[in-house]
């Protein structure tokens, strides 16, 4: 496994898009020594190796980085938590031992404050409500959880299969308002078909709420079919002449992107998405070995003034920290339209470094890492740790566990603007 670790260090120091920005941030010698020691004793299994690599990658402070085993079952503790004030509330629970509304007060006897100090490298967000506690809690055998009556119980941390069912739906809330829920943008074909199937309804509805509070990203090309319903009839200039994207065109990245893109794009049927993948692959081949360069997408260039329809008249996008990658891009784009209001909390903020590719090893190990960077990083205006902010901020509180506060605010806003 040492050879895999050395490959990863090489990738992070040469192929990763943030290698120059983050030079000196990591400490490979520390992890190299641990791997050698455990291998010499013969007690380093795959799960422990993945934990070590995850720990090493923390130094780069990039939540787009993932090291895992292909085809391995993904598990988690079976519940979700969120920080409010100095307390940690269980927001969702798939196991009977805990329930939403309970509070986690310690892990193996360590109170929350000490846990934060011990795992400081894990907590990099600009607000407590954004922090992801699950990777920390998953390192412990049990937590102490307190119910609503103040009774505390020791709850063992078990591993349950992580379930994810993609949701791409359009439903009617009332005669004037529809709700579009999108939990990812992974398939352009799925979004295109959804819009095609409901185009008549979308053209007639006065109000549209788009819920991307949970969105696992995917391809930014997937949300292009939504433009006619997001943009005003007068149009919006989507060109961003102040923002540049540079691709780290090492030979290894070009070769990996070729494999990675073909693996994901070969099933796409949507013509524009396939065309983009084709041009993207050609650019990687043409710029192979050139270092950091911009790509030429002039073949795709259309009028940057994107015009929409009169209906829906008002669009509200609900966002949260569980929306990232292509979800970040979608929310950022929506904020350019005068008929859209983004409500909720800032997105995860993954796109300073993007356009992921994958490196594979025998045994099923895989590293996902970014191959491009945005020029905003040079100006200190990156989104890492703070995300894309909403137009209307709705702080998360424990009341969100009992009712959908965000949706309530969205509907009140729509009705108020109509009456006003």
pTM equals 0.92
Residue 389 Ramachandran class (φ > 0 left, ψ -120 to 50 alpha, else beta): beta
23 Cβ partners below 8 Å, 6+ apart?
13
What is the token pair recorded at 115?
């846990």
Report domain extents, the chain.
2-65, 76-161, 168-419
Give the pLDDT of residue 163.
79
For the chain, list residues with pLDDT below 50.
Answer: none
CATH 3.40.50.1110 fits 76-161, yes or no: no
In order of 46, 86, 103, 166, 386, the CA distances from 155 in angstroms are 26, 20, 12, 30, 32
Give the pLDDT of residue 354.
94
Distance CA 287, CA 302 (A): 23
Give the pLDDT of residue 360.
95
Domain 168-419 sits in CATH at 3.90.226.10
Would you tell me how many other CB atoms lie within 10 Å of the CB of residue 262?
Answer: 11
Would you tell me how many other CB atoms lie within 10 Å of the CB of residue 118?
Answer: 13
State the Cα angle at 162 between 157 and 166, rounded to 5°.
150
Give the pLDDT of residue 242.
79
Are 76-161 and 168-419 equal in CATH topology? no
Residue 362 Ramachandran class (φ > 0 left, ψ -120 to 50 alpha, else beta): beta
219 Cβ partners below 8 Å, 6+ apart?
185, 186, 187, 188, 273, 326
Give the pLDDT of residue 43.
84
Give the pLDDT of residue 76.
84
């Amino acid at each position: 496994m040492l050879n895999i670790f050395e490959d990863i260090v090489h990738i992070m120091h040469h192929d990763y898009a943030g290698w120059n920005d983050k030079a000196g941030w990591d400490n490979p010698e520390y992890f190299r020594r641990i791997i050698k020691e455990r291998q010499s004793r013969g007690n380093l299994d795959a799960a422990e190796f993945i934990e070590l690599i995850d720990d090493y990658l923390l130094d780069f402070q990039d939540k787009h980085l993932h090291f895992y085993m292909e085809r391995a079952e993904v598990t988690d503790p079976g519940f979700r938590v969120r920080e409010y004030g100095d307390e940690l509330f269980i927001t969702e629970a798939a196991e009977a031992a805990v329930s939403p509304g309970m509070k986690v007060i310690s892990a193996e006897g360590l109170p929350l404050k000490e846990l934060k100090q011990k795992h400081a490298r894990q907590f990099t967000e600009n607000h407590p409500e954004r922090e992801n506690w699950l990777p920390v809690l998953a390192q412990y055998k049990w937590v102490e959880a307190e119910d609503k009556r103040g009774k505390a119980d020791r709850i063992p941390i078990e591993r349950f299969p992580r379930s994810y069912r993609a949701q791409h739906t359009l439903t009617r809330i009332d005669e004037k308002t529809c709700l579009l829920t999108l939990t990812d943008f992974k398939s352009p074909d799925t979004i295109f078909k959804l819009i095609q199937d409901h185009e008549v309804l979308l053209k007639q509805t006065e109000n549209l709420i788009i819920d991307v509070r949970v969105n696992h990203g995917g391809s930014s090309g997937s949300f292009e079919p939504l433009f006619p319903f997001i943009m005003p009839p007068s149009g919006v200039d989507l060109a961003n002449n102040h923002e540049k994207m540079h691709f780290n065109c090492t030979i290894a990245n070009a070769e990996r992107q070729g494999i990675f893109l073909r693996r994901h794009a070969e099933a796409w049927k949507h013509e524009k998405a396939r065309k983009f993948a084709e041009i993207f692959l050609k650019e990687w081949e043409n710029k192979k070995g050139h270092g950091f360069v911009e790509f030429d997408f002039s073949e795709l260039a259309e009028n940057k003034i994107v015009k929409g329809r009169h209906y829906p008249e008002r669009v509200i996008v609900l966002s949260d920290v569980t929306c990232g990658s292509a979800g970040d891009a979608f929310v950022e784009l929506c904020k350019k339209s005068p008929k859209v209001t983004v409500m909720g909390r800032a997105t995860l903020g993954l796109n300073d470094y993007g356009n992921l590719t994958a490196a594979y090893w025998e045994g099923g190990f895989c590293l996902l890492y970014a191959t491009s960077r945005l020029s905003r990083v040079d100006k200190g205006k990156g989104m890492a740790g703070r995300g894309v902010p909403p137009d209307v901020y709705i702080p998360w509180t424990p009341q969100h566990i009992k009712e959908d506060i965000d949706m309530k605010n969205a509907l009140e806003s729509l009705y108020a603007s109509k009456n006003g």
